[in-house]
Structure 1
Amino acid sequence: GTINSHGAWSEKSWSVSLSDTDISGNINALDLTIKADIGLNQFGNLQPGKLFIDFNNSALTLQASDSAFWDIKGKLTVDNIEQWHQEITGRFTTIFSVTGEQDNPTVNLQSLLTQLNWQQWYSDSLAIEARYQPMNDHDIQLSVNN
């Protein structure tokens, strides 16, 4: 595939970006696809763009918008958790976002785990919602429904 990267480094700042990147192949006989048009700087801010990674029956999509505020949206789907951790079976999907002012982000996520089986614990459906504000005394709101 194709990888187009650019980076910059100085005493006070750095950045790295991928543009028109489209690679595919395999790692240990597992298919891997990466498509990227996105960048990152020393503050953890993403440049406007998109990222897609498909590996091990799991997919991550991420989109960052051009904004003076945090505006990141994404989704992570794992079709078979056992392929990542052999002691757990099931699947999950998580939709997440990072929004808010640059100095006061809010992280939100909504997760659904299905057919979850770990040790003696089993659940047909487990829904988790969370909100985290790291700059607001690490405020966390968490809801778990079985």
Structure 2
Amino acid sequence: MRHCYAAITNSLLSHSLFSPAHHLLHRSNNLSDSFICKFIIALGNRGDIRRTIHWFHKAKSFSHGRCLLFCNAVLVVLVRANRINLSKSIFDQVVEEGVFELDVFTYTTMIRGFCKIGMVHSALKVFVKCFVRPIRLLTTL
């Protein structure tokens, strides 16, 4: 049954039908981390940065520290949208909070974002941070 909900939800999200997808998942109690990431990415692909960030904060509020996937998803969306200053703010916030360990994907996304807009010095700072803090090697979205 879970696979049916997943298939229907994926179809709804691919057609930007966020409200019915959310309602279906909420009703089915399948609002898992991976589905929240799919919401974040689908909203970002639609260009809805405000709602993307809203879902990130919403997910953070009930994830009890397990929000690395959400963080990576929102950073990818923001970097793709060339919203590097906003992605830096979120990155700095999660680093400051220190609730979870960042992984290679997190650092790579920020480095890519800075390089994309020519801020090589900022990319180098993130690269150096990557070696100062212990990092996890792999995360899946």
Bigger helix share = 2
TM-score scaled to structure 2, two decimals? 0.31
TM-score scaled to structure 1, two decimals? 0.30
Bigger strand share = 1
